[in-house]
Amino acid sequence: MTAVPLLEITNLTVEFTTRRGIVKAVKQVDISVAKGETVGIVGESGSGKSVTSFAVMRILDRAGRVAEGSISFSGFDLTNAPEFAVRDLRGREMSMIFQNPRAALNPIRKVGRQIEDVLRQHARTGSGDARTRAIEALANVRINRPEDRYDAYPFELSGGMCQRVVIALALACRPELLIADEPTTGLDVTTQKAVMDLIVDLTRERGMSTVLITHDLGLAAAYCDKVVVMEKGEVVETAAARDIFARPSHAYTRKLMRATPRPGIALRDLLPEGAPVAAIKQPAASDAALLSVKGLVKEYPRVHTRSLISRYLRKGNETASAPFRAVDGISFDIRRGESVGLVGESGCGKSTTSMMVMRLLDPTSGSIIFNGQEIGELPARTFAGNSLRSKIQMVFQDPTESLNPRFTAVRAISDPILRLDKPMAADALRARCEDLARVVGLPPDLLDRFPHQLSGGQKARVGIARAIALNPDLVILDEPTAALDVSVQAVVLNLLADLKATLGMSYLFVSHDLHVVGLLCDRVIVMQNGQIVEEGITKQVLEAPTADYTRALISAIPHPPV
């Protein structure tokens, strides 16, 4: 590594003009990136990590401006340079890739043409060999049959494939610096690993510098040389990746590090040190099965993309294509007081399964026996009127989306009581909601707020209070922390564990993240393509997986050194 940094951010302050006045999104930030170095910028939402990178690329939106400080690239002052000069650097000397790769590509232009646009812009190619160069760029990101992919539109490619195209586009002109802003968020875990490996291989190979912006300390630890931790627009710590995990010096870094799920820890280890917590009581799970699922199948008819007329013409000899099996004959039990994790990547059928158990969706075949009663045959449409409704409840993935924007917190929590319980006086109802709020750790004075006036963690607590309001026997947790920052996730997971211990419920925890599931669950079920590929005691599955797929899942999750 050379002494002269490739990118030098000094005393950077970025301001945004909003309706409530000027907001400083980034405050006096210093970051330097040496040639060939990989630097991770880590922080939770609102830490200013993305804004910093937008300022470097000079693509802040209209409301934002650099108020103070300087950014220099190879000794060239980016903050005061004219727009045309910066534009010439972008894509040629420094590139950026984003999260949500599908949206990052022009939906109505062939991906090959989009790469050509960049090549042409920077005059790296005459029109003759532009196509060849674009295909070469696609081949470099390990896309099979690049000649064919050249003509594909983004909607014809998978999310991981789109991210490869975006990387090809960013690296087409062989820049010196690549800024990757949450490049794997929203992708499946195994795809995440492939994409990250690709980025690191390509940039190392070419001696490039990389800035990796992420909320995931584990990811930064696994791939970066140096880590910069940001909180509320400020840099709180900068250190070599190895050191920062061994000896985190700032309290925030320690908190963040502790909150990151990793192998070999217990739930309580996620909370900040010195937090006053009692050990989790472990109620013995009884042997009686609370829920018993047998041979559950859900089929969907295949969508006909064939045109009307050709369907008409071929009516006679068309063989009926087999319906798509989202859930393909699975069986499992959940005992009383037990928590079971249902793990898999998107499209594996875990959500469909939970919706059927929840009785929001009718199975095609198979049985769901709850508390000794067959509920799989009761139609989902009228299950709201069944007395068992109050016994199976759910905590949703996105706490914001799961709360009616027009209901206050107290109205949301009281909804199940009003609908499914005995009528009660307003005072008693209020008192009961306040009790519930206390149980889930929500300050009762927040009860009269609307969802948009609550933080993500508070909304999650409202959702949990609503789910436990009627003392259900089974609560389905559908990725309950996926939309939350890690520090909030740590608190919510602990809360869920405590609630289970005090109230004696069973959990079915649906998630894509084996580590998170491992913290809360006694047993794990791994699903792939609608089928169960592995099932067992959590510890065993995590430490000695038998299925190849489980192994791939476990190794794909990056984590900080223990």
Residue ranges in 463-492 that form contacts with other proteins under rule CB under 8 A: 463, 466-467
Contact of 295 with 332, CB cutoff 8 Å: no
Burial grade of 67 (CB within 10 A; 0-12, 13-18, 19 or more): middle
DSSP structure class, residue 104? T
Beta strand 289-300 with 365-370 is antiparallel
Q: Which is nearer to other proteins, 138 or 412 (CB)?
A: 412
**For other proteins, the closer CB: 184 or 494:** 184
Q: How far is the CB of 374 from other proteins (least distance, A)?
A: 20
Nearer to other proteins, 92 or 336 (CB): 92
What is the distance between the alpha carbons of residues 362 and 348, in angstroms, rounded to a whole number?
A: 18
Binding to other proteins (CB under 8 A) within 428-457 occurs at: 429-430, 448, 450
Residue 118 beta carbon to other proteins: minimum distance, rounded to whole angstroms? 5
SS3 content of the chain, % helix, strand, coil (to 5): 40, 25, 35
Q: Distance (Å, rounded) from C-alpha 55 to C-alpha 211?
A: 13
Nearer to other proteins, 459 or 500 (CB): 459
DSSP state of 388: G
Q: Give the C-alpha separation, 121 to 127, whole Å.
A: 11
Question: What is the bridge-based pairing of β-strands 373-374 and 365-370?
Answer: antiparallel
- 3-class secondary structure, 263: coil
Nearer to other proteins, 244 or 483 (CB): 483
Q: Single out the segment in contact with other proteins by CB under 8 A; choices: 24-32, 54-62, 196-204, 266-274.
A: 54-62
User: If you write DSSP's letter for every residue of 475-518 in order, what string do you get?
Assistant: EEEESTTTTS-HHHHHHHHHHHHHHHHHH--EEEEEES-HHHHH
What mask of x and - would describe binding to other proteins in positions 241 to 280, judged by CB under 8 A? ----------------------------------------
Contact residue for other proteins among 394, 436, 440, 514 (CB under 8 A): 394
Which helix or strand (DSSP H or E) is residue 161 part of?
helix 159-171
Q: Exactly one of 142, 232, 268, 411 binds other proteins (CB under 8 A); which one?
A: 411
Element (DSSP H or E) covering residue 21: strand 21-34
Scan residues 293-312 and list those touching other proteins (CB under 8 A). 305-310
Piece in contact with other proteins (CB under 8 A), picked from 40-48, 140-148, 204-212, 398-406? 398-406
Contact predicate 205/19, CB 8 Å: no
Residue closer to other proteins, measured from CB, 505 or 526: 505
Q: Any contact of residue 375 with other proteins (CB under 8 A)?
A: no
CB 154 within 8 A of CB 72: no
Minimum Å gap between C-beta 450 and other proteins is: 7
Among 385, 540, 548, 551, binds other proteins (CB under 8 A): 385
Pick the binder of other proteins from 377, 387, 445, 562 (CB under 8 A).
Answer: 387
Task: Report CA 135 to chain centroid distance, whole Å.
Answer: 32
Q: How far is the CB of 267 from other proteins (least distance, A)?
A: 25
Residue 192 Cβ vs other proteins, minimum distance, rounded to whole Å? 19
The piece of 58-66, 138-146, 289-297, 504-512 that touches other proteins (CB under 8 A) is 58-66
CB-wise, 342 or 410, nearer to other proteins? Answer: 410
Q: Which of residues 66-125 bind other proteins (CB under 8 A)?
A: 87-92, 95-98, 100, 103-109, 117-118, 121-122
Shortest Cβ 208–other proteins spacing (Å): 15
Burial code of 87-109, b = ≥16 C-beta within 10 A, e = fewer?
eebbbbbbbbbbbebbebbeeee
User: In the bound complex, what is the minimum distance in angstroms from residue 352's beta carbon to other proteins?
Assistant: 13
Identified binder of other proteins from the candidate list 293, 410, 508, 532, rule CB under 8 A: 410
Sign of CA dihedral 503, 508, 510, 516: positive
The interface with other proteins within residues 503-562 (CB under 8 A) comprises none
Distances (CA, A) of 451 to 47, 398, 437: 22, 12, 15
Total of chain residues touching other proteins, rule CB under 8 A: 81
Residue closer to other proteins, measured from CB, 169 or 519 = 169
Query: Whose CA is closest to 460, among 423, 420, 492?
Result: 492
Rounded CA gap, 24 and 16, in Å?
Answer: 6
The dihedrals phi and psi of 377, each to the nearest 5 degrees, come to -90, -10
Q: Tell me which stretch binds other proteins (CB under 8 A): 215-223, 334-342, 424-432, 551-559.
A: 424-432
CB of 549 to other proteins, least distance (A): 29
- Closer residue to other proteins in complex, CB, 177/271: 177
CB of 220 to other proteins, least distance (A): 21
Using DSSP bridges, classify how beta strands 234-240 and 373-374 pair: parallel, antiparallel or unpaired.
unpaired
- For other proteins, which is the closer residue by CB, 20 or 273? 20
Stretch near other proteins under the rule CB under 8 A, chosen from 44-52, 125-133, 288-296, 411-419 = 411-419
Binding of other proteins by 421 (CB under 8 A)? yes
Chain positions 129 to 188 lying near other proteins, rule: CB under 8 A, are 153, 155-156, 166, 169-170
How far apart CA 562 and CA 559 sit, in angstroms, is 8
The token pair at 168 is 């090809």
What is the token pair recorded at 477? 């947790």
Can you tell me which residue has the tokens 């089974």? 474
391 binds other proteins (CB under 8 A): no
Q: Which residue's CB is nearer to other proteins, number 419 or number 551?
A: 419
Among 38, 50, 397, 458, binds other proteins (CB under 8 A): 397
Member of 285, 360, 378, 547 binding other proteins (CB under 8 A): 360
In the list 18, 132, 286, 404, the residue contacting other proteins (rule: CB under 8 A) is: 404
Bridge-partner residues for 210, per DSSP? 38, 178
Least CB distance from residue 90 to other proteins, whole Å?
Answer: 3
